[in-house]
Chain A
Amino acid sequence: MNETQRNEKYNAYIKSKMPKTKAWPSLFHAFWVGGLICCLGEFIKELCLYIFPYMTSLEASNWSSIIIIIIAALLTGFGIYDKIGAYAGAGSIIPITGFSNSIASSALEFKREGMVFGLMAKMFVIAGPVIVTGVLVSIFAGLLYLIF
């Protein structure tokens, strides 16, 4: 058995031994927490519309996003959001609150290296790729819209 064969055999053996994430419980956790976060967003939007009757639906949505982002950043600072994330996984990463958490947690982690080269430079370490992808995809979608 040469080295490549041995390594392949070993990696196959590891794969068979690796503990797997249980799919159904994870999906359920992600589903209910993610759903709850979305319901909270919707509730804040409805509340805005109820308190400020002249607000348009779009404005209320924006306010709802802003408020929910602030809540997530606060929960990150209090050390609660990472516990929610450990339980819910994608359920708390995919909503806008996950985005808020990724920026706030990086900012907290690197603030000790100074304001400029720590906090400001490292803030988007995790959110950066998401922003780049978002911009690129919207350019692509805009081009499609222009052509057709």
Chain B
Amino acid sequence: MLNRIGKQTLIFRNRPRVLGRFSLVGPKEGRGNFGKFFHKVIEDDLFGENTYEKAECKMLNYTITEAINNSGIKKDEIDALFAGDLMNQIISSSFSARTIGVPYIGLFGACSTMAESIIMGACYVDGGFGRNVACATGSHFSSAEKQFRYPLELGTQRPPSSQWTVTGMGCTILGRAQSGIAVESATIGNVIDWNVSDVNNMGAAMAPAAMSTLKAHLDDTGKQPSDYDLIVTGDLGKLGSEILMDLMEYNGYHLGNNYSDCGQMMFTNTQKTFMGGSGCGCGASILNSYIFDRMEKGELKNVLFIATGALMSTLSSQQGNSIPAIAHAVALSIGGKQNV
């Protein structure tokens, strides 16, 4: 029996559960809309290190370790770590894995990595390849700026369509259990490129990918957007999420009040982030704090988390390529059996 429905959607019949989680953010995010929900807000974005890359690695390491502690599972019983980040050659994840010392699979899905890692982790647990797995990702504003944009101290103006890379980390521990938040199904996205090449307008580049994956998920499962208490995208930002709503409307699906975007919600209006947050850590930190909190309280029962990623590099952009994008969707639920 194939654990798949339609073309793109995977069904997890053993319903892997969220056993533990942890979120960590930087000072600016701590002063944002979700400050009080994160497990840890750090005041020094170097986190005691001398470079931002080392800081990012240490934050990710800390987050994974704390998530394992939070789950109450011994480190020896974590059978795999799925992690990825934005740095070249995903150094933050690999270097974290070096110290954590569990079997590691490095992922790159740009800002879609939280969904990607949960999907891979859920497959692993569902298929019985591991008892418990850790799924983690994160991003750091300063290291991302250095790699993708300009030096931090350069006096430039950010265009009004730009987004602010979130300094944030998130880790989810998945395993088999009788209760808790379950990963029901997941839809793996295609790489979509609608020929947007403006690197200062990532939302517009990623919105078609989000639309494609969301549409595929709804078509495959036969659900309607209203079947979910919350449909949340990772980091489309204000403009991107408006575009997604328009695109879905065009395709005959209405996204109402149950739709929101982590990037758009992350910062307050006075924090000068224009279209909002972006980066792996944006969706990862909010999913592992606010969204899971509300699910555990029973305020949200069915949630569809769609993380979107822009798969370009600085080289590809300089060489005039457009921005390919991807989106993965994870359907989460709490309570009674949903599938099978």
Binds A, one of B76-84, B144-152, B172-180: B144-152
Indicate with 1 or 0, residue by residue over A102-115, a CB within 8 angstroms of chain B CB atoms: 10111011101000
Closest to A19 in B: B160
Q: Which of A3-11, A63-71, A134-142 contacts B (4 or more CB under 8 A)?
A: A3-11
* Cα A70 to Cα B158 with chains together (Å): 25
**A4–B108 Cα gap in the complex (Å)?**
29
Contacts A11-B196, A18-B161, A18-B201 given; indicate if A85 touches B154 (C-beta within 8 A).
yes
Q: When the two chains form the complex, which single residue of B146, B151, B201 contacts A126, counting CB atoms closer than 8 Å?
A: B151
**Chain B interface main SS type:** loop
Q: Counting CB contacts under 8 A, is B51 at the interface?
A: yes
The count of A-to-B residue pairs whose CB atoms sit within 8 angstroms is: 92
Let me know if B44 is at the binding interface, CB within 8 A. no
* Contact (Cβ within 8 A) B196 A101: no
Flag if A106 contacts B242 (CB, 8 Å).
Answer: no
Chain B CB within 8 A of A41 CB: no
Q: Report chain A residues within 8 Å CB of B155.
A: 76, 81-86, 88, 92-93, 98, 101, 105
Within the complex, the shortest CB–CB distance from A48 to chain B, in Å, comes to 26
Bound-state CA distance A27–B272 (Å) is: 19
Known: A14-B201, A109-B146. A101 touches B161 (CB 8 A): no
Shortest Cβ distance from B250 into chain A, in angstroms?
Answer: 10
Binary A-proximity of B62-102 (CB < 8 A = 1, otherwise 0)? 00000000000000000000000000000000000000000
Report the bound CA distance from A21 to B156 in whole Å: 14
Total interface residues on A, using CB and 8 Å? 38
Complex interface: chain A residues within 8 A of B60 (CB): none
- Chain B residues with Cβ below 8 Å from A125 are 151
Give A54-74 interface residues, CB cut-off 8 Å to B. Answer: none
Q: Which B residues from 132 to 167 make CB contacts under 8 A with A?
A: 146, 150-161
Bound together, the chains give a CA A7 to CA B159 distance in angstroms of 23
User: What are the residues of chain A within 8 A of B201 when measuring CB–CB?
Assistant: 14, 18
Asked whether A34 is an interface residue with its Cβ less than 8 Å from the other chain, the reply is: no
Hey, which chain A residues are within 8 Å of B243, CB to CB? 13-14, 17
Is there an interface contact between A82 and B239, defined as CB atoms closer than 8 Å?
no
A82 and B160 contact, Cβ closer than 8 Å, known pairs A14-B196, A17-B239, A112-B50: no
> Is B195 a contact of A126 with CB atoms below 8 Å?
no
* A86 touching B156, Cβ below 8 Å: yes
Complex contact A19–B154 (CB within 8 A): no
Collect the chain A residues with CB atoms within 8 Å of residue B158's CB: 86
B129 within 8 A of A: no
Evaluate contact between B161 and A109: CB separation under 8 angstroms: no
Q: B208 near A: Cβ within 8 Å?
A: yes
User: In whole Å, how far is B54's beta carbon from the nearest beta carbon of chain A?
Assistant: 9
Q: How far is the CA of A105 from the CA of B157 in the complex (A)?
A: 15
Report 26 cross-chain contacts, Cβ distance below 8 Å, ordered by A residue.
A7-B194, A7-B195, A10-B195, A13-B243, A17-B243, A19-B239, A20-B160, A21-B157, A26-B157, A79-B153, A82-B152, A82-B154, A82-B155, A85-B155, A86-B156, A86-B157, A89-B156, A92-B155, A93-B155, A98-B155, A101-B154, A105-B154, A106-B154, A108-B151, A108-B152, A109-B153
Please name the 8 residue pairs, one residue from A and one from B, whose CB atoms are nearest each other, closest first.
A85-B155, A109-B151, A105-B153, A7-B195, A105-B151, A19-B160, A105-B154, A14-B204
